[in-house]
Amino acid sequence: MTDMNGRRIDQLGTNLIVYGGVCTSCSLHQVDFHKLPFERFDEVILFFQSPQDEIPRALRSYSKNIRIISDEQGSLAKKLNATWLGKSCVSSKGRLSYIQKEESDRTFLQAAMGK
């Protein structure tokens, strides 16, 4: 699998996966992408249910380990049951190891990072 920039996604690494929803000015402000713990994961994968040309360039070049995926048809969102913006999960060695259960779960990332 590759991201929008053609970079390969390391499916065996420890990756944070975050659902960004549809790229509108409202939804882009609901998730604070700049506060994601990029340095704690091999890759941070943000996926949006929007065409590639609607995903802001600023997000595409924010961090060297960020991967942006256009999930225009919603197939990835459906597989991960992404029912709210910012729903997150962690994959490790190709398997989901942590899944945020509720939107209000603020301890999710701490648990996922082993704190």
Q: Is the pTM of this model over 0.85?
A: no
Tens-place pLDDT, residues 71-110: 999 998 888 888 777 788 889 888 888 888 887 776 666 6
Looking at residue 65, its pLDDT comes to 82
Average pLDDT for 5-22: 88
For residue 90, is it left (φ>0), alpha (ψ between -120 and 50) or beta?
Answer: beta
In the chain the first and final C-alpha atoms are separated, in Å, by 30
Residue 61 CB neighbours (<10 A):
11
Interatomic CA distance for residues 29 and 17, integer angstroms: 18
